[in-house]
C-alpha cells in the first residue's frame, strides 16, 4: 500500500503568521496555512500531518518520524533555512522528496537570506508566492511522489 501522507513542517516564528510583519508575510495565520495545505493535499488524495516549532530538535524528530508514514515533506524552515546544517542533514537523511517553501522572496531581501541549506536537498522550490505557495508546493511535491511533473 502506498503512503498517502505529507509532513508539513513550519520552523521558528511561523506561529506568528498573521501578526508578524504583515507587510512581508501577509495576514493569513498558521492555521490558515495548515488548512490550505490540507485542502490542497486532499484534492490529490493525500492527507497532511503538520508540525510547527521554535525548537530545532522538535523539527528534527518530526522529520525523522516521517520515514515511517509519509511520502514527502513540505517545509518552510523559517530562519533555520540560512543557519541549520543539521536540518539539512535530517532532510537528506530520511530520503523523502522535499518541497522548500518561502512566503517572501528571500532572494530580494537581506543578503544573509540568499543562502539556503535546504535548497540542494529539495526537489521543489516555491519562493515569494505568499502563503498560496504552500498549495503550489503540495501540488508539485505530489507530482514528484506520484511520478507526474517534477518541481
- Has 67 been labeled as part of a binding site? no
pLDDT (tens digit per residue) in 84-137: 999 999 999 999 999 999 997 777 666 766 678 899 999 999 998 999 999 999
pTM over the 0.85 mark: yes
Q: Is 107 annotated as a binding residue?
A: no
Per-chain mean pLDDT for the chain? 91
> Could you tell me what percent of the chain has a pLDDT over 70?
93
Quickly tell me which residue has 498517502 as its cell: 4
Residue 67 · residue 95 · CB < 8 Å: yes
The SS3 call for residue 51 is strand
89 assigned binding-site residue: yes
- The response to whether 76 counts as a known ligand-binding position is yes
For position 109, what pLDDT does the model report? 65
- Which residue's C-alpha cell is 484534492? 43
Report yes or no: 25 and 103 within 8 Å, Cβ to Cβ: yes
Structural domains for the chain:
5-146 (3.40.50.9100)
Q: How many CB atoms lie within 10 A of CB 3?
A: 14
Q: Which residues are catalytic?
A: 25, 102
Could you give the 3-state DSSP secondary structure of residue 131?
Answer: coil
pLDDT value of residue 113: 63
Rounded to 10 deg, the angle between the 30-42 and 132-146 helix axes is 30
Amino acid at each position: 500500500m502506498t503512503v498517502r501522507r505529507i509532513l508539513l513542517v513550519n520552523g521558528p516564528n511561523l506561529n506568528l503568521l498573521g501578526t508578524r510583519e504583515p507587510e512581508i508575510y501577509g495576514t493569513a495565520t498558521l492555521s490558515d496555512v495548515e488548512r490550505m495545505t490540507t485542502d490542497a493535499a486532499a484534492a490529490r488524495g493525500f492527507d497532511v500531518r503538520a508540525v510547527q516549532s521554535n525548537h530545532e530538535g522538535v523539527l528534527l524528530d518530526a522529520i525523522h518520524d516521517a520515514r515511517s508514514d509519509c511520502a514527502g515533506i513540505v517545509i518552510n524552515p523559517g530562519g533555520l533555512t540560512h543557519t541549520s546544517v543539521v536540518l539539512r542533514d535530517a532532510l537528506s537523511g530520511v530520503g523523502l522528496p522535499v518541497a522548500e517553501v518561502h512566503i517572501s522572496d528571500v532572494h530580494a531581501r537581506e543578503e544573509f537570506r540568499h543562502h539556503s541549506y535546504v535548497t540542494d536537498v529539495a526537489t521543489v522550490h516555491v519562493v515569494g508566492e505568499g502563503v498560496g505557495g504552500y498549495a503550489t508546493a503540495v501540488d508539485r511535491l505530489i507530482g514528484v511522489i506520484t511520478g507526474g511533473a517534477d518541481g
